[in-house]
Structure 1
Amino acid sequence: MKVNHVKECPRCEGTDFAEGTDFMAIKPLNKKLSAGSLKIYRFCLSCGEVVSIRVENPGKFRSW
């Protein structure tokens, strides 16, 4: 599945976006000692509206 990036902010119609993280890892529920993976936020530079959130390393959540 191909990701379709938002080209216009749904809140203010801005077109400039940036990505960042809060450095709080998301962790698997069944692996309490896992390092997990960072959440990456894509947000509008005009109003701050978050238009997407993704996990940096989704492979860390696969059960082995």
Structure 2
Amino acid sequence: MNIFRDHVLTWWQVGIVKLCLLSIGIAVGAQWHEVFAPYVMVLVVVGIATGVYLAAAWMMKR
């Protein structure tokens, strides 16, 4: 059984995945904001780093 097989998503399926993850993130942040408050800077740095990486990978692919 190969659970890591290739699969191509359409643009609207990717949009649904992003909406799902955004909704989960908002729900978790609203409920457990005290838990994540000490790690805000770490989460911001991780978010910026992954965004820069994705932008660079996208630019290099073109």
Q: TM-score range by the shorter chain?
A: under 0.3
TM-score, normalization by structure 1: 0.27
Which structure is larger by alpha-carbon Rg, 1 or 2? Answer: 2
Structure with a larger share of its residues in strand: 1
TM-score by length of 2: 0.27
